[in-house]
Amino acid sequence: FTIVIATKNAGKVKEFAHAFAKLGIEVKSLLDYPSIPDIVEDGDTFIANAKIKAKTAGDALGVPVLADDSGLAVDALNGEPGVYSARYAGEGASDAQNNEKLLAQLADKGARLDEQPLANGTSLLSPAQFQCALALYFPDNGQFMIAEGMVEGVIMDRPHGDGGFGYDPLFYVPKLGCSMAELSKEEKGKISHRGEALKQLLPAVEKLVTD
Ligand code: ITT
């Protein structure tokens, strides 16, 4: 069985592939369907954008499709970059450019927490949350299943680790004492916003396999 994920983000694809491999489910993404035109994500919320992506791909392919819309909300920046996380430093910005912009914005605000620096001299700048909305769309009846997940962390003044993607190297996870980019895919999946949302939809995806 193969599930289609309506994403072009290779980091997301790897995480979904890892999670679904345990169930014997293979993953395809929009990188496998270049004929589907670019999807305009103009929703105001993660849920709205996840639904746009799942419906566009699901209607084009005629099979149930899962989509992920996610991002980082930083307290000291009033919840930015939020739904603009992927294009914070501009359309087509790289993860490195977005991370640089995040640190520049926090430096502008003079954001810094009064906590002790971490053992490696790294300072903590602002509480933040990763948020994820998943939409599973069924083109035969036009229905959606929605799930959300969130993980609390703190933005650091410098990157740590080379796993994951996006803002992971700047996102400190207090309960684990390391950055999100220092976790294996397995460990990240257990605590992440995406992992939490996916757990809620797994029964529905498993049902697709048996139907
Ligand atoms: P698709 O729309 O094709 O799925 P995208 O990267 O544009 O890819 P989003 O609009 O959902 O996806 O933006 C999500 C951005 O939020 C992503 O590019 C990262 O910058 C950030 N992000 C989301 N989940 C993350 C995670 O687990 N770790 C680090 N950064 C994450």
| Per-residue confidence in pLDDT tens, the chain, 211 aa | 999 999 999 999 999 999 999 999 999 999 999 999 999 999 999 999 999 999 999 999 999 999 999 999 999 999 999 999 999 999 999 999 999 999 999 999 999 998 888 988 999 999 999 999 999 999 999 999 999 999 999 999 999 999 999 999 999 999 999 999 999 999 999 999 999 999 999 999 999 999 8
User: Which of the residues 32, 38, 69, 95 is marked catalytic?
Assistant: 69
Q: Measured in angstroms, how far is the CA atom of residue 189 from the centroid of ligand 1? A: 15
Cα(64) to ligand 1 centroid in Å equals 21
Sheet holding 65-74, edge to edge: 26-29, 2-5, 65-74, 124-138, 143-156, 171-173, 178-179
Active site residue 95: no
How many CA atoms, within 13 angstroms, populate the side-chain half-sphere of residue 202? 15
Fold of 2-210: Maf protein (3.90.950)
pLDDT of 43: 96
* Domain coordinates in residue numbering, the chain: 2-210
Global pTM reads 0.97
